[in-house]
């Protein structure tokens, strides 16, 4: 292919081997980016393991703990406040992701097939990408549905995303129609076709959309700020916002323990605990990520 486009002895620029100086420059650039990304994470993790004395000596942040301690994590997991917040976030993420996948998958499959009023409904969904409902109308709707101070106020408003729908619909439209028509001729219903044929062929895009929804539900805190006044229903991200971003400290009384470690150690430990679930889940879905996004965006 190169020979046809560039000649027998000529190669494209991107196929040429870089000079030693250019290779060194690329290495230094990539290494600098890695340091900028990894260093703050290392400081957060190290501070969460550091002792009270070392945190005081270092001025609040520790790069390498000399005497690592798990006291901050023991305090977190023995604290009713943090443990309850993790439970709320876990419930919202799991239930919200499953419900969102169900709604998005069924709607994407329905509108990927020729149906009555399919195009006007598709235009309405696309319009949601350009015109947001607004904070006040959303609050009034949640209030009217009597969802204030319930976990469903954290789930239902984010149950559907137009972008995720478009990606999944495009993927479904790329499935050969002959395969679906042959199943219909054999007497399979739409539900049977979706369950037995479409979903097994769509594992990549379902994994990617599921990851999008899960990250969104886990990291969401603004809905909790708007709709939740009961502190027992706060998700872990709202705890982070209140006690890390706002600069408040977690006292022993607030944590529900007799004695708490250094406030900075507790804060960094909460950050680590909030990051771990997504960091752990992502490697298992990484092989589907590029395939699902690229295929869903191109097909159809």
243: domain CATH number is 1.10.3720.10
Residue 65, in any domain of the structure: no
Residue 169, in any domain of the structure: yes
What backbone torsions phi and psi does residue 240 show, to the nearest 5 degrees? Answer: -60, -45
Domain endpoint, select from 35, 58, 81: 58
Q: How far apart are CA 276 and CA 262, in angstroms?
A: 21
**Do 104 and 158 sit in the same domain of this protein?**
yes
pLDDT at 208: 85
Of the candidates 284, 282, 261, 279, the residue with the CA atom closest to the CA atom of residue 82: 261
What backbone torsions phi and psi does residue 189 show, to the nearest 5 degrees? Answer: -80, 170
Q: How far apart are CA 48 and CA 73, in angstroms?
A: 8
**Do 200 and 289 sit in the same domain of this protein?**
yes
106-110-112-114 Cα dihedral, nearest 10 degrees: 170
**Coil/strand/helix, residue 234:** coil
Q: Which H or E element spans position 101?
A: helix 80-112
Count of domains forming the chain: 2
**Do 52 and 148 sit in the same domain of this protein?**
no
**Do 44 and 99 sit in the same domain of this protein?**
no
Helix and strand element counts for the chain (H, E) = 17, 0
**Do 37 and 163 sit in the same domain of this protein?**
no
Q: How far apart are CA 79 and CA 82, in angstroms?
A: 6
**Do 258 and 183 sit in the same domain of this protein?**
yes
Residue 64, in any domain of the structure: no
Domain of residue 46, residue span:
2-58
pLDDT at 4: 55
Alpha helices of 60-176 — where are they, by DSSP H? 71-77, 80-112, 118-127, 135-144, 152-155, 162-173
Residue 227, in any domain of the structure: yes
Report CA-CA distances (Å) from 124 to 54, 141, 158, 162: 57, 19, 17, 10
Per-residue pLDDT of the chain (300 residues), as tens digits, is 545 555 555 666 566 777 788 888 888 999 999 888 888 888 888 888 887 777 777 777 788 888 788 877 887 777 787 788 888 999 999 999 999 999 999 988 888 877 766 678 888 888 888 887 788 888 898 889 888 888 999 998 888 888 888 888 888 888 888 888 888 887 878 788 888 888 888 888 888 888 889 988 998 888 888 898 888 888 888 887 776 665 455 554 555 545 556 677 778 888 888 888 878 877 776 666 655 555 544 444
Residue 87, in any domain of the structure: yes
Instruction: Tell me the pTM.
Output: 0.76
Place of tokens 């620029």: 13
**Do 131 and 10 sit in the same domain of this protein?**
no
């Amino acid at each position: 292919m190169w020979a046809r486009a560039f000649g027998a002895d000529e190669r494209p620029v991107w196929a040429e081997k870089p000079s030693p100086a250019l290779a060194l420059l690329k290495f230094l650039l990539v290494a600098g980016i890695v340091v900028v990304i990894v260093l703050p994470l290392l400081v957060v993790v190290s501070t969460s393991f550091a002792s009270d004395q070392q945190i005081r000596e270092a001025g609040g942040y520790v790069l390498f703990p000399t005497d690592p301690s798990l006291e901050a994590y023991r305090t977190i997991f023995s604290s009713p406040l943090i443990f309850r917040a993790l439970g709320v976030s876990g419930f919202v993420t799991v239930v919200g992701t499953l419900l969102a996948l169900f709604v998005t998958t069924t709607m994407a499959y329905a509108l990927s097939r020729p149906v009555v009023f399919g195009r006007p409904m598709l235009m309405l969904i696309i319009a949601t990408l350009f015109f947001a409902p607004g904070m006040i109308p959303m609050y009034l709707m949640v209030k009217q549905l009597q969802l204030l101070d319930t976990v469903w106020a954290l789930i239902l408003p984010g149950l559907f995303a137009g972008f995720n729908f478009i990606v999944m619909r495009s993927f479904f439209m790329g499935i050969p129609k002959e395969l679906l028509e042959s199943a219909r001729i054999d007497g399979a219903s739409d539900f049977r076709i979706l369950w037995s044929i479409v979903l097994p062929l769509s594992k990549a895009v379902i994994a990617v959309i599921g990851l999008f929804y899960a990250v969104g539900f886990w990291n969401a805190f603004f809905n909790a700020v708007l709709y939740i006044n009961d502190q027992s229903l706060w998700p872990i991200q709202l705890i982070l916002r209140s006690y890390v971003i706002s600069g408040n400290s977690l006292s022993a009384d607030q944590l529900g323990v007799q004695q708490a470690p250094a406030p900075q150690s507790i804060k960094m430990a909460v950050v680590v605990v909030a990051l771990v679930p997504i960091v752990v889940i992502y490697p298992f879905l990484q092989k589907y990520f590029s395939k699902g996004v690229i295929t869903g965006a191109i097909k159809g």
